């Protein structure tokens, strides 16, 4: 696990260095936008289709979705209560809830689980994200952002779901899988070629998105609940629930590691759109990502 984390850390570091030196005059935010768009609209749907078409889907898939949803909803409710007791502003509260509730299940979780478990790790990460986290983000997450934000367009949550290419790929893959449609060899090979670029580009893009310039000493008290929920409390809850659902072995380890991922980078887009505290959120992503390089090997050691 330490070897896996060190490799991932090196790719993330490449993104951080790019942000500083700007090769070819390309700034980090523009570069990240291009790379993430390629991954989001082309490479990731190819990976999702390839993995879920041939993955063993059944009651375990329902259990993965259930524990993932429970973890997200638990973090939303607890972080909301903490912000109410601390009397934070709406902009801060919205940013804290998003940062505490939604893990970086794909951009960091997928590389971690694939490195540890191979093809089965890919399947766990994709199911955890696309069967629970993404639908909740684009429904409950949008509603939370609109409620605590100071503007932004009035998004139709169902329309938001329809504009998620990996989700469409997941639906198609599940249908093909359930109908036992044979997987053409040429298509599997082509999808595999596209999917091979997902992990390195995801990790590099994650490094591009980390921003130490957003750090402020005043942020620390607001970030402590995010760190505790994202890296400790939610994984503990997911561990308990996964055990109750009968998940064992790699499945149990995989869902707990997914729950222990740092805050998702995509939340910055929501903060900008709905005028939440973007600086605080970016600081939360940077801090939880840095700490996760220590906490994830610990979680893996305990679970193993």
pTM: predicted TM-score of the whole model, two decimal places: 0.87
213 by DSSP, 3-state: which? helix
- The winner for highest mean pLDDT among 19-33, 36-50, 164-178, 251-265 is 251-265
Q: Could you tell me the residue ranges of all domains in the chain? A: 2-19+33-303
pLDDT for 154: 59
pLDDT for 61: 93
CATH fit for domain 2-19+33-303, picks 1.20.5.440, 1.10.3720.10, 1.20.1530.20, 3.90.10.10 = 1.20.1530.20
Q: What's the Cα-to-Cα distance from 281 to each of 16, 65, 128, 144, 180, rounded to whole Å?
A: 17, 26, 23, 14, 43
**Do the Cβ atoms of 99 and 285 come closer than 8 Å?**
yes
Q: Compute the distance between CA of residue 281 and CA of residue 98 in angstroms, rounded to an integer.
A: 8
The packing angle between helices 249-259 and 278-303, to 10°, is: 160
103 by DSSP, 3-state: which? strand
Binned at pLDDT 50, 70 and 90, residue 138 comes out as confident
Binned at pLDDT 50, 70 and 90, residue 208 comes out as confident
Q: What's the Cα-to-Cα distance from 231 to each of 101, 133, 186, 235, rounded to whole Å?
A: 11, 16, 41, 7
Asked if the model's pLDDT at residue 126 lies above 80, the reply is yes
The string of pLDDT tens digits covering residues 80-96 is: 999 999 989 999 999 99
**Do the Cβ atoms of 167 and 130 come closer than 8 Å?**
yes
Number of neighbouring beta carbons within 10 Å of residue 298: 12
**Do the Cβ atoms of 125 and 109 come closer than 8 Å?**
yes
What value does the mean pLDDT of the chain take? 89
Binned at pLDDT 50, 70 and 90, residue 73 comes out as very high
Number of neighbouring beta carbons within 10 Å of residue 216: 12
182 by DSSP, 3-state: which? coil
The string of pLDDT tens digits covering residues 150-164 is: 765 555 666 666 678
Q: What's the Cα-to-Cα distance from 207 to each of 14, 114, 274, rounded to whole Å?
A: 7, 19, 24
Hey, what are 94's tokens? 């919205």
Partners of 263 in the β-ladder = 103
**Do the Cβ atoms of 273 and 144 come closer than 8 Å?**
no
Measured at the CA of 193, the angle between CA 202 and CA 189, to 5 degrees, comes to 140
Hey, what are 219's tokens? 């942020």
The string of pLDDT tens digits covering residues 268-300 is: 888 888 889 988 998 999 899 999 999 999 999
pLDDT for 158: 64
Asked if the model's pLDDT at residue 213 lies above 80, the reply is no
Number of neighbouring beta carbons within 10 Å of residue 267: 26
């Amino acid at each position: 696990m330490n070897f896996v984390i060190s490799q991932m850390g090196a790719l993330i570091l490449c993104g951080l260095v790019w942000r500083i030196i700007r090769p070819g005059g390309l700034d980090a935010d523009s570069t990240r936008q291009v790379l993430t768009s390629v991954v989001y609209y082309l490479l990731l749907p190819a990976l999702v289709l390839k993995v879920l078409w041939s993955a063993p889907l059944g009651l375990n898939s329902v259990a993965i979705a259930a524990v993932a949803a429970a973890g997200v909803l638990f973090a939303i409710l607890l972080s909301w209560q903490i912000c109410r007791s601390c009397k934070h502003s709406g902009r801060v509260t919205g940013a804290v809830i998003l940062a505490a509730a939604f893990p970086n299940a794909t951009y960091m979780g997928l590389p971690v689980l694939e490195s540890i478990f191979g093809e089965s790790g890919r399947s766990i990460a994709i199911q955890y994200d696309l069967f629970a986290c993404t639908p909740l983000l684009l429904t409950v997450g949008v509603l939370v952002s609109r409620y605590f934000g100071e503007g932004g367009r009035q998004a139709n949550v169902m329309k938001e779901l329809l504009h998620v290419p990996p989700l469409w790929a997941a639906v198609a893959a599940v249908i093909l899988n359930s109908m036992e449609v044979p997987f053409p060899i040429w298509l599997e090979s082509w999808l595999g070629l596209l999917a091979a670029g997902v992990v390195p580009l995801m990790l590099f893009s994650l490094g591009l998105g980390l921003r130490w310039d957003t750090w402020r000493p005043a942020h620390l008290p607001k970030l402590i609940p995010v760190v505790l929920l994202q890296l400790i409390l939610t994984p503990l809850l997911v561990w308990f629930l996964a055990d109750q659902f009968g998940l064992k072995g790699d499945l149990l380890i995989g869902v707990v590691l997914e729950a222990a991922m740092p805050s998702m980078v995509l939340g910055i887009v929501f903060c900008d759109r709905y005028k939440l505290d973007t600086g605080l959120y970016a600081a939360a992503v940077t801090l939880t990502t840095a700490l996760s390089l220590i906490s994830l090997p610990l979680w893996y050691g305990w679970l193993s």
